[in-house]
Chain A
Amino acid sequence: MKGHVWRPLLVVIGLVIIILVARMFYVPEDFGAQDRGYTFGYHRLSNEQEWKDYPAKYQDSEYCSGCHDDKTEELNAAQHGMIPCENCHGAAFDHPDDPEKLTIDRSRDLCLRCHSELYMPSSGRNDIPGVNPEEHNAGLECVECHNSHNPSLEEM
């Protein structure tokens, strides 16, 4: 064959070799078809561990009971007993080390998530006593009158 055929051909072959070598270094060893085969499992295996090591933010209500046992007892005995502490006080992270204190949310919005009156006959929302936010003591924080941990109307 003539030079004008060989020269570009060599360039192409050279390029292919460079790409293959680069790929060898670039693609990690654990990359490939794993348990779920080529269609669903083609990935870098170590990424699974990376996701497992993702830092968690939420503890749980049991964690709080170690130190705030008075609050836990009060809450558990009351109508709000099923609400996890961290829903109202935010994720614990490493509390009490970091942050030292958790937030205390006294906003009406917090309570209205459940207590704003909606007519939802095919859901549990209808079993929660609702108030109309525009009429029920508008402008005042709910916790000025209600105890958020023990909301019993009798003990107000």
Chain B
Amino acid sequence: MKRRDFLKNAAVFVSGASVSLGALELLDPRQLLAANPELRWGFLVNTHNCVGCGFCVKACKVENDIPLEANVTRTWVERYVITKDGDVVMDTPKGALNGFTSKLIDQNQSGMKQVDDEEIAQAFFVPKLCNHCDTPACVQVCPVGATYQTKDGTVLVDRKWCIGCGYCIMGCPYGVRFFHPVEHVADKCTFCYHRISNGGNTACAQACPFGARQIGNLRDPNDPVAKAVMNQRVGVLRDEYGTKPQVFYIGLNKEVR
């Protein structure tokens, strides 16, 4: 290869590579706000307020006809206990359908573990749900166009169109998708699309007594969620995947995965 060709190719490669890196750029809510003036649903979780009562999980299951005893759920709450030695102990019994009533932390095969109060440095709850990403990995992998994103940003599944191949369940970095035990199709949180589109609140946010969950319009500068996302220190889960999640967390720790 000639020296000139090498330099040319190198220049092309580097500029090409920087473009794809640019696509992974951190999401700036202000940019989003300017880009589309209408409606983009977003969600705000304040982990400080969550007490782990699990009423959100129960409300979600009842509202969306997910069998209560089935081992799947559209939203769940995780408990994190971080010891003074830096160990992280985490569990979510039945997705917190019945809340957290015991100090015993379920460690699956290794049984129940109890951390003494004096050993605990930090302990808190983190509610999880679909992030309704701006560039959802689960939608990209659907081979039949059964899962998609609406204009207002929610990611939905067409139950008549889904063939149950499970690609989206594997594709989601957050593990929020599952196989519906009754409908036999892929299922996920819809942000209670039937409620929010008709002027209501999501079942989980309405059930939360402490305001730990809020849904709002990220395009409306007067919306409390949009304001908090803009003005407060919020974090998102697994930013490095480039999916641009739209569920924002106040009080996120690096231990939360």
Binding site for B on A (CB under 8 A): 31, 34-36, 39-44, 47-48, 51-58, 60, 82-84, 86-87, 90-91, 109, 112-114, 116, 118-125, 128, 133
Contacts and interface: CB of A to CB of B under 8 A. Distances in A.
Interface string B181-201: 000000000100111011011
Given A112-B101, A124-B210, 13 more contacts: A35-B150, A52-B194, A56-B194, A56-B195, A57-B203, A86-B207, A109-B101, A114-B53, A121-B123, A123-B50, A123-B125, A124-B50, A125-B51
A51 B148 contact: no
Given A44-B161, A47-B161, A120-B124, A112 B99 contact: yes
Contacts of A123: 47-52, 123-125
Contacts of B49: 123-124
A42 to B, nearest CB: 4
A116 B102 CA distance: 7
B193 A125 contact: no
Interface of B: 47-55, 58-59, 62-64, 79, 98-103, 117, 120, 122-125, 135-136, 139-140, 145-151, 156, 158, 160-161, 190, 193-195, 197-198, 200-201, 203, 206-207, 209-210, 212, 251
A31 B147 CA distance: 12
B99 A114 contact: yes
A100 B74 CA distance: 29
Q: Which of B102, B146, B149 has the most CB of A within 10 A?
A: B149
B99 to A, nearest CB: 3
A93 B7 CA distance: 70
Contact of A113 (B48, B99, B201): B99
Which 5 A-B residue pairs are closest in the complex by CB-CB distance?
A113-B99, A43-B148, A54-B194, A35-B151, A42-B145
A117 B251 CA distance: 22
A61 to B, nearest CB: 9
A128 B209 CA distance: 12
Nearest to A108: B101
Nearest to B156: A51
A40 B153 CA distance: 10
Nearest to A125: B51
A41 B150 CA distance: 7
A42 B55 CA distance: 35
Contacts of A57: 62-63, 203
Contact of B197 (A52, A87, A119, A125): A52
